[in-house]
C-alpha cells in the first residue's frame, strides 16, 4: 500500500539494512574497550562519524551521535544556552519549529530564561529581518529549522545565519527534514538531524557543534560521545545511519527532481479538483517530497481513516488527529485552515502511478466525508433578511463550528454578522481561515460565558 | 576467540536478531500514527511492553523504554528526586553504583542537592543497617544496584527495600547486570536495566516506576513513552530487546548453574596457580557469570594486551586501562588491590574448554608481565639493617610504586618504615592493599611537596 508519510518515518533503506546486519556481527562490542572486538567497534564508529561529518559538512570531532533527533535538539539547545549563560538567557526561535525545540524553549522559560518566537508568513517562512529584530544583546542562542516538517517550506537559513553572525549569536539549525536531500547552507553553529527521517534506523540522531561555539553539556556527565550524548553507543544503528545517509545523498539530486514534479502535480490537481481546499506552504522554496493541504468542512480523522481504508497512509495536523485536540502549531502560526488537513510526504522511490491513484480517489473521498457531515455544497444564496445571527456550536468539534457558520452565512444580509459560539480550539484558527478563503470579514473573537464568540461579517 | 566481557556488552542473542529483522520490516513506522503501518507498530510496541513488564514483574503501564540503561538511570533518578522535592533533596546511594548513578548524584549535588554514599565491605556489599542509617527525614530517593558490574557481588536488595519502605523512601534498583538472570526481589519503587547486557540490541533501556511513586519527568517535555523518554521510539530494537529478555530468561536457571561452576573453577584455580593474587567479590552471593581478580606487580593494560594477543577478551578496573587514569571506584570503595585487575564475565554458552585454556595460560602470562616489570619474585629476605627508607616513585605509574615498595621492604628492620613518594592515583589504593595482602602495617598517607608520602611499617 502507498505510504505517503516519509516525514514521520521512512522504511529502512536497503543500504541501512545491509550495514545494520553487518554491524550487528562486527560492532556489538564496547568501542571503549582495548580488546579486538572493542577495537573493531571503535573503527566502525570512527568511520561512521567521518561519513556523517562529510555529509553534514563539518569535522568528525564536531559531530556526535545521539539516541534520536529529539535528544540531539534537547542536548544542543541546553548545551548552547548554558555555554553562553554569561551573555544572557534569551532564546530566539521560529514559531514553526519542531516540538523538540518548542519543548526545550518551554523548559528554558520554566527555568527562568526568556524566549522570543519569531512569527512566520502565510507560507510558513520567517522573514530574515524579523528574525534579526528578535536578536537581543542577551540572546544566547537562535534556532531555525532548515525546512518545515509539516508544510515543507524552506527557511531562509543562509540569510538568518548571516544576520546571527553579525549579531554574534550562534544559530542552531534543526535539519531533521532536509539532511537527506543535501547539506544545510553554511553559517550554522549547531546542527541536529534524525536518521530515521532519511531511511536510517530509529535510535540515531546527529548533533554537530562547530569548534569555537561555546557549549556546556547539561545533565549528568557522560564518558561517551565527548560527554554530549549519554549511554552506550548504539553502534550498529549508527553505522547503518551513516551508510544510508551517504547512499541517500548519492541519489538525492535526481530523486528530488522526480518527487518535486510529483508534488507539483499534487499541488495543482488538488487545488483544481477538490473544492474549498487550501494548499499550504511555499510552492517553490520547499522540500521536494512534501505537500500539505486542508479541506474545508472535513474532519481530519475521518479523512485519514477513509484514505487508510483505500490503502493510502498520510498524516494530518488537524486537531482531531492530535492527542491534545489542538490543531498543529505550524498551521496555527501560518494562519491557515487546519480542518481536513492532509500532509503527503513521498518516500524516495514513490511510483507516479500511486500518486495518480491518490489524486483520482481524493476528490470523491472528500466529497463523501463532507456529505456525511452535512457540509454546504454550494456558494451562499443571495443575501437573506436577517440582521445578525448567533450560532451555538458549543461542545461541537472541528469542523462542525465552521460548517454551521457556512450554513447560515447566506441567511444574513450583507454587512450583517454571524456570531459563532464555540469551545473547540480549532475554531480559533479555522473561522478566520474560512473568512480568508470565502472573502468574508473576520471581525474578531470575544469572550463568552463558555468558549469564545467568533464574529464574522458578511461582505458578499 | 573467547569473549569474556559479557558485563560490558553481549553479542546479539539469535532471538534478538530474528525479532529485530522482523520488526525492521513490520515496525519502522510511527506508532503514534493512525494508518495501518502505525497501528502495526503500536501493536508491536504494546506487545514488547507487556513482555518486558512480565519479565520485570510490573504492570505494562509502569514501564517505559529508554534509549539506554544510562538514560533510564538519569531519567529515573531525576524524575524521582523532583517528584519528592517537597520531602527534601537528599539522595542515598551505595559507593559502588554504576557511573550513571554516580554522575546523576554529582549533577544533583551541583544543583544544590545533598548525597550520602553508603560504604561497602571488602566483598563489595552494603550493610543493610548502614544503608538504613543513611536515610534521613529529607531523603527523596535511595539507589542500590541489584548486583555489582565489576565484581559481581549481589546487594541485599530485599533487606534494603524493606528498610526503605519502613522509612517511606522509594528505592531505585539498577538491575542492569542481573535482569537477564532473573527478576529483582520485590520492594523496589523504580527499576532500570539495559538490553545490550542480556543479549538484546544496544539503544534500549528500561525504566519501571511503580504506580504510587511520585515521579516528575525532567527536561523538555515529550509526547512519547508517558513523557518519560524523549524521542521517536526505537521500535525494532525494543521488540528485539523484549523478545531476547524472554528467551534469555527461559534458559537462565540452567545456564546460571553451569556458569556458576565455571566461575567457581576460575576463582579457585586463579587463587591457587597465580601467586600474589587477590580474587575479589563475594564468592557465593554473586552473579553467576562474573569474577574479578587483581595481580600484584602487574600492569593491567599490559596484561589485557597479552590476553588479547592470546585471543581472550576481558576488561579491567586498573587505572592504566581507564581514560582518567584512576582506578575503578568499585575496587577503591572495597579497599582491594586495583593493579593487574582482570574482570572475567562469561556470556551464556561459554565453553568450559575455553575457560580451561584461559586458566592454563594465565599464570604464565602474569609471570611474564611481572618479569618484564622487574617485580620481586620471592618473599622478603630476613630483616635488613636499615632503620627506615624513602622510595621515590614520583612520576611512575601503577604498578611501579608498589613494586619499588616490595623491592625494599626486605632492606629495613622489623618495626622500621618504608615511605613511598608517589603521585599516581592508584598508589593510594594499592599500597594499603599490598600491606593487607603481605601482612605489613599501613601507617598512613602524608602530604608531600609533590604527590603523597605513603608510610608502611614492616611487621615481619
Q: Is A338 exposed, middle or buried (CB count within 10 Å of its CB: 0-12, 13-18, 19+)?
A: buried
**C-alpha grid cell, residue A84:** 553562553
Angle between helices A352-373 and A235-273 (to 10 degrees): 60
Q: Is the pLDDT of residue A321 over 90?
A: no
A-chain CB neighbours of B305 within 8 Å are: 34
Active-site entry in A295, A320, A398, A435: A320
The alpha helices in A5-68, defined as continuous H runs, are 14-26, 36-56
So what's the pLDDT on residue A320? 80
Q: What is the per-residue pLDDT across A52-75, written as a single tens digit (0 to 9) for each?
A: 999 999 999 999 999 999 999 999
C-alpha–C-alpha distance, residues A167 and A94, integer Å: 17
So what's the pLDDT on residue A381? 64
Residue B222 banded pLDDT, cuts 50, 70, 90:
confident
- Per DSSP, the residues of B413-442 read EEEEEEEEEE--TTHHHHHHHHHHHHT-EE
Q: What is the per-residue pLDDT across A434-443, written as a single tens digit (0 to 9) for each?
A: 999 999 999 9
A-chain CB neighbours of B19 within 8 Å are: none
C-alpha–C-alpha distance, residues A444 and A454, integer Å: 6
So what's the pLDDT on residue A265? 98
Q: Is the pLDDT of residue B381 over 70?
A: no
Q: State the Cα torsion B323-B324-B325-B327 to the nearest 10°.
A: -100
C-alpha–C-alpha distance, residues A445 and A115, integer Å: 26
Q: Summarize the confidence of residues A364-392 as an average pLDDT.
A: 85
Question: According to the CATH classification, is domain A253-373 in 3.40.640.10?
Answer: no
B-chain CB neighbours of A323 within 8 Å are: 32, 223
Q: Do B313 and A205 touch (CB under 8 A)?
A: no
3-state helix, strand, coil in chain A (%, to 5): 40, 20, 40
User: pLDDT over 70 for what percent of chain B?
Assistant: 99
Q: Do A12 and B33 touch (CB under 8 A)?
A: no
Which CATH class name applies to A14-248? Answer: alpha beta
Nearest CA-CA distance, residue A102 and chain B, Å: 9
Q: State the Cα torsion B306-B312-B313-B316 to the nearest 10°.
A: -50
Mutation test of the interface with chain A: which of B16, B26, B32, B34, choosing the one with the most A Cβ atoms within 10 A? B34
Q: Is the pLDDT of residue B380 over 70?
A: no
Q: Do B304 and A35 touch (CB under 8 A)?
A: yes
Q: What is the per-residue pLDDT across B226-280, written as a single tens digit (0 to 9) for each?
A: 888 888 889 999 999 999 999 999 999 999 999 999 999 999 999 999 999 999 9
Residue B404 banded pLDDT, cuts 50, 70, 90:
very high
Q: Which residues pair with A417 in a beta bridge?
A: A388, A457
- Number of A/B CB contacts below 8 angstroms equals 197
Closest chain B residue by Cα to residue A36: B308
Residue A266 banded pLDDT, cuts 50, 70, 90:
very high
Q: Can you give the length of chain A in residues?
A: 460
Residue B379 banded pLDDT, cuts 50, 70, 90:
low
Q: What is the per-residue pLDDT across B450-459, written as a single tens digit (0 to 9) for each?
A: 999 999 999 9
Q: What is the per-residue pLDDT across A237-260, written as a single tens digit (0 to 9) for each?
A: 999 999 999 999 999 999 999 999
Q: Do A220 and B103 touch (CB under 8 A)?
A: yes
Closest CB to A12 among B5, B28, B36: B28
Q: Is the pLDDT of residue A179 over 70?
A: yes
Nearest CA-CA distance, residue A5 and chain B, Å: 9
CB count, 10 Å around CB of A459?
Answer: 11
- Mean pLDDT estimate for chain B: 94
So what's the pLDDT on residue A183? 96
Pairing assessment for the beta strands B205-209 and B277-280 based on DSSP bridges: unpaired
C-alpha–C-alpha distance, residues A25 and B62, integer Å: 33
Q: State the Cα torsion A446-A447-A450-A455 to the nearest 10°.
A: 0
Q: Can you give the length of chain B in residues?
A: 460
So what's the pLDDT on residue A379? 65
C-alpha–C-alpha distance, residues A240 and A11, integer Å: 13
Closest chain A residue by Cα to residue B13: A24
Q: How many CA atoms lie within 13 A of B46 on its CB side?
A: 8
**C-alpha grid cell, residue A261:** 514534479
B165 CB contacts (<8 Å, ≥6 apart)?
B171, B187
Pairing assessment for the beta strands A412-422 and A386-392 based on DSSP bridges: parallel
Q: Is the pLDDT of residue A281 over 70?
A: yes
C-alpha–C-alpha distance, residues B125 and B336, integer Å: 13
Q: Do B5 and A33 touch (CB under 8 A)?
A: yes
Angle between helices B352-373 and B235-273 (to 10 degrees): 60
Q: Summarize the confidence of residues A38-48 as an average pLDDT.
A: 96
CB count, 10 Å around CB of A309?
Answer: 11
Closest CB to A305 among B34, B68, B308: B34
The residue that leads in pLDDT, B369 or A1, is B369
Instruction: Characterize B55-74 residue by residue with b for buried, 16 or more Cβ atoms within 10 angstroms of its Cβ, and e for exposed.
Output: bbebebebbbbbbbbbbbbb
Closest CB to B36 among A36, A196, A313: A313
Domain ranges of chain A: 14-248, 253-373, 386-457
Q: Do B69 and A231 touch (CB under 8 A)?
A: yes
Closest CB to B29 among A9, A74, A235: A9
Active-site entry in B58, B320, B398, B435: B320
- Mean pLDDT estimate for chain A: 94
Q: Summarize the confidence of residues B182-206 as an average pLDDT.
A: 96
A-chain CB neighbours of B317 within 8 Å are: none
Question: According to the CATH classification, is domain A386-457 in 3.40.190.10?
Answer: no
C-alpha–C-alpha distance, residues A419 and A432, integer Å: 12
So what's the pLDDT on residue B319? 82
Closest CB to B222 among A21, A32, A103: A103
CATH code of the domain made up of B254-373:
3.90.1150.10
Residue A156 banded pLDDT, cuts 50, 70, 90:
very high
B295 is catalytic: no
User: pLDDT over 90 for what percent of chain B?
Assistant: 89
Q: What is the per-residue pLDDT across A106-149, written as a single tens digit (0 to 9) for each?
A: 999 999 999 999 999 999 999 999 999 999 999 999 999 999 99
Q: Nearest Cα to A204, choosing from B68, B37, B47?
A: B68
So what's the pLDDT on residue A319? 83
Amino acid at each position: 500500500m502507498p505510504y505517503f508519510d516519509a516525514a514521520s518515518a521512512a522504511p529502512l533503506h536497503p543500504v541501512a539494512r545491509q550495514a545494520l546486519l553487518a554491524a550487528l556481527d562486527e560492532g556489538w562490542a564496547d568501542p571503549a574497550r582495548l580488546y579486538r572486538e572493542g577495537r573493531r567497534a571503535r573503527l566502525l564508529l570512527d568511520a561512521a562519524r567521518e561519513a556523517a561529518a562529510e555529509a553534514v559538512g563539518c569535522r568528525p570531532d564536531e559531530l556526535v551521535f545521539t539516541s534520536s533527533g529529539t535528544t540531539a535538539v534537547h542536548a544542543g539547545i541546553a548545551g548552547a544556552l548554558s555555554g553562553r549563560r554569561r551573555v544572557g538567557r534569551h532564546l530566539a526561535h521560529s514559531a514553526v519549529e519542531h516540538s523538540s525545540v518548542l519543548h526545550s524553549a518551554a523548559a528554558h522559560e520554566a527555568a527562568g530564561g526568556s524566549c522570543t518566537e519569531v512569527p512566520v508568513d502565510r507560507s510558513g517562512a520567517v522573514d530574515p529581518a524579523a528574525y534579526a529584530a528578535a536578536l537581543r544583546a542577551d540572546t544566547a542562542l537562535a534556532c531555525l529549522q532548515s525546512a518545515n516538517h509539516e508544510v515543507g517550506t524552506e527557511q531562509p537559513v543562509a540569510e538568518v545565519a548571516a544576520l546571527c553572525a553579525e549579531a554574534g549569536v550562534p544559530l542552531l539549525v534543526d535539519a531533521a527534514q532536509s539532511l537527506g536531500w543535501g547539506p544545510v547552507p553554511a553559517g550554522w553553529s549547531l546542527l541536529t538531524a534524525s536518521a530515521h527521517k532519511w531511511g536510517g534506523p530509529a535510535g540515531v540522531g546527529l548533533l554537530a557543534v562547530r569548534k569555537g561555539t561555546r557549549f556546556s553539556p547539561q545533565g549528568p556527565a557522560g564518558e561517551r560521545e565527548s560527554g554530549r550524548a549519554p549511554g552506550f553507543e548504539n553502534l550498529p544503528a549508527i553505522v547503518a545511519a551513516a551508510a544510508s545517509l551517504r547512499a541517500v545523498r548519492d541519489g538525492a539530486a535526481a530523486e528530488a527532481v522526480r518527487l518535486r514534479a510529483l508534488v507539483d502535480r499534487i499541488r495543482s490537481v488538488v487545488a483544481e479538483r477538490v473544492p474549498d481546499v487550501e494548499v499550504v506552504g511555499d510552492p517553490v522554496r520547499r522540500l521536494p517530497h512534501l505537500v500539505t493541504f486542508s479541506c474545508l468542512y472535513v474532519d481530519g480523522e475521518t479523512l485519514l481513516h477513509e484514505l487508510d481504508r483505500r490503502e493510502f497512509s498520510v498524516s494530518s495536523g488537524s486537531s482531531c488527529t492530535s492527542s491534545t485536540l489542538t490543531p498543529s502549531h505550524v498551521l496555527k502560526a501560518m494562519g491557515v485552515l487546519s480542518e481536513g488537513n492532509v500532509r503527503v510526504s513521498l518516500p524516495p522511490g514513490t511510483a507516479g502511478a500511486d500518486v495518480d491513484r491518490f489524486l483520482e480517489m481524493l476528490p470523491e473521498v472528500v466529497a463523501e466525508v463532507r456529505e456525511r457531515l452535512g457540509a454546504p455544497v454550494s456558494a451562499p444564496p443571495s443575501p437573506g433578511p436577517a440582521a445578525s445571527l448567533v450560532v451555538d456550536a458549543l461542545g461541537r468539534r472541528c469542523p462542525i463550528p465552521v460548517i454551521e457558520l457556512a450554513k447560515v452565512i447566506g441567511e444574513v444580509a450583507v454587512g450583517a454578522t454571524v456570531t459563532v459560539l464555540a469551545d473547540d480550539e480549532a475554531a480559533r484558527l479555522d473561522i478566520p481561515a474560512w473568512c480568508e478563503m470565502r472573502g468574508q470579514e473576520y471581525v474578531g473573537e470575544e469572550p463568552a460565558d463558555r468558549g469564545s464568540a467568533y464574529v464574522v461579517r458578511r461582505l458578499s
